[in-house]
Amino acid sequence: MTPLAHVEAAIAADRAQADPAIWITRLSDDAIRARAGALQAEGRQGRPLWGIPFAVKDNIDVAGLPTTAACPGYAYTPSATAPAVQRLLDAGAVLIGKTNLDQFATGLVGTRSPYGVPRNVFDRDRVPGGSSSGSAVAVAAGIVRFALGTDTAGSGRVPAAFGHIVGLKPTVGSVSVRGMVPACRSIDTISVFARSVDEALAVQRLIAGYDPGDPYSRRAPFPYLRRAAAPANARVAMADVASLCDPPTAALFRQAAARLEAEPVDIAPLLEIARLLYDGPWVAERTAVLRDAIAATPDMLYPATRTILESGLGLKTADAFDAFHLLVQARRSVQTLFERYDALLLPTAPFCPTLAELAADPLGPNRRLGTFTNFANLCDLAGFAVPAGFGPDGLPVGVTLLGPAWCEGRLAGLADALHRAATETVGATATALPPSAVPDALAADETALFCIGAHMAGLSLNGQITGVGGRFLRTATTAPLYRLYALGNRPGMLRGVPGAAIDGEVWAVPTTAIGTLLAQVPPPLGFGSVTLADGLCLGFLAEAAGVANAPDITQYGGWRAWLQAREGSAA
């Protein structure tokens, strides 16, 4: 499609949706067409988003357009565009407008705005989710292909669940938040709503990067946005929290957990920290942003927003330190969790409240919506919120896969597979899911490493691979030249006669990390050139003297088969 064709489709979809509450500032049709026409006249010129329509949450700056954060009394017109938005414009994307939100990004319901409430695309009596309500609805209604939101406590995930789309919550500090009105400055991030995991990842690749002008920006430790394949043996933890959800959410969450063969774990420390996000020092962090406005012009605030922000004025420093100590404990529990598991599966939200429920209790349902989202940024996690299917009431349900910071590319294959197992369409449209991306090929700064034992997906030492930025590429088998031996908790492989084919996995590892990995490998194991069925690869090999007295397990064809046989005999 040409840029003009793209924007005509967006304009038509917006007209069909007929929901002015999606937008706070909607560009005119003429301005949108003019931008698309200029791009079309210039040609693609290598721009990856040539002519693709998108939207931006109205707490992120676009030069010349007002930034309101859904508060007319706060509005200003910036002279500079936020770096994240500018990168998208430079990539050829066409801005349709700036979207509605819960005022100052304080809320998960999507109703706390003087600009109206964007309609839930599945049930107009339900909330759309927030705070990035307009951005999510614009994608779910098929108006734009992707949109920027923000995510502090779940604002980039809850609306995705209610709109049957994907929400990517990046690693905090991976995307510059310069030009964004802060909510909790220390844990804010700009998020992405999109039709699929791969389209969201493609957008993040464009907007991510270290920004010396953002004091909370962080340098990535490795190329973390390269797309991995989904390992068949990934180990996924699940929070056993179905009792906290309504029946449709609980049923579809259990279904997603079964697809991943997820194992129950206790996340009590995380749920405790989640509750503190709206009771503890992070409320005061929100209050600090608007301290002057609260004192001088409190009436400009939406009632529920004002109640929350004013509550931060009375918090005590002593209580803050109690919360910080609990956070350290929660982060330690997360570290321990991801030493054993590749991802944590959660419901995105426990239920979807009605507008009537919000009218009766403006704070309670919002607090409940953050049950499974509030802790993610505090604990330095990243991940994808994806659709999990529809309940008997016709409402979509979402689940979230979380991992440690800088895991987005590694988790993409797993999240995409989970999404596609649940649905074939996007949002409330009849549009089919775009095709999955092919995992990124081995890059020039990566080395392919053939793993045969505990370093494979889901096994005890795989964290050594993923911890340095390794990503799964494929399963593989050696040429029939090797013998395999059991060395306690790991195997040893060497060339032998008669030789056999040995199963394993190929991982892409940053070349600079090969030495780090090798230093963690005890004798008699090391790295050497392994002949696979389709060529040579660096891999784990053993010294002959080191396996002289070890059991020969070649007949099993691989370490996984040996483990299964050993467990079967023990049973």
Query: Which of 406, 427, 366 has its CA nearest to residue 105?
Result: 366
- Is 217 in the active site? no
Q: Report pLDDT digits (tens) over 392-424.
A: 999 999 999 999 999 999 999 999 999 999 999
- Is 57 in the active site? yes
Calpha distance 532→193 (Å, rounded) = 40
- Tell me the angle at which helices 303-311 and 281-289 cross, rounded to the nearest 10 degrees: 120
Catalytic residue among 132, 155, 196, 333: 155
pLDDT at site 295: 87
Calpha distance 266→112 (Å, rounded) = 33
Distance from the Cα of residue 122 to its chain's centroid: 23
pLDDT at site 571: 59
Q: How far is CA 240 from CA 3, 48, 131, 235, 351, in A?
A: 47, 41, 26, 16, 16
> Are the C-beta atoms of 68 and 160 separated by less than 8 Å?
no
pLDDT at site 316: 85
Calpha distance 415→197 (Å, rounded) = 7
Calpha distance 364→361 (Å, rounded) = 6
Calpha distance 147→145 (Å, rounded) = 7
- Is 529 in the active site? no
In order, the DSSP letters of 384-430 are EEEEEEE-TTS-EEEEEEEEETT-HHHHHHHHHHHHHHH-SB-TTS-
Residue 274: strand, helix, or coil: helix
Catalytic residue among 113, 131, 217, 333: 131
Specify the pTM: 0.96
Which residue in this structure is represented by tokens 């996007």?
A: 426
pLDDT at site 319: 85
Q: How far is CA 261 from CA 235, 236, 257, 304, 540, in A?
A: 8, 7, 6, 41, 28
Catalytic residue among 57, 132, 176, 333: 57
Q: Which domains does the chain have, with CATH numbers?
A: 3-422 (3.90.1300.10), 446-570 (3.10.490.10)
Q: Which residues of the chain have pLDDT under 70?
A: 570-571
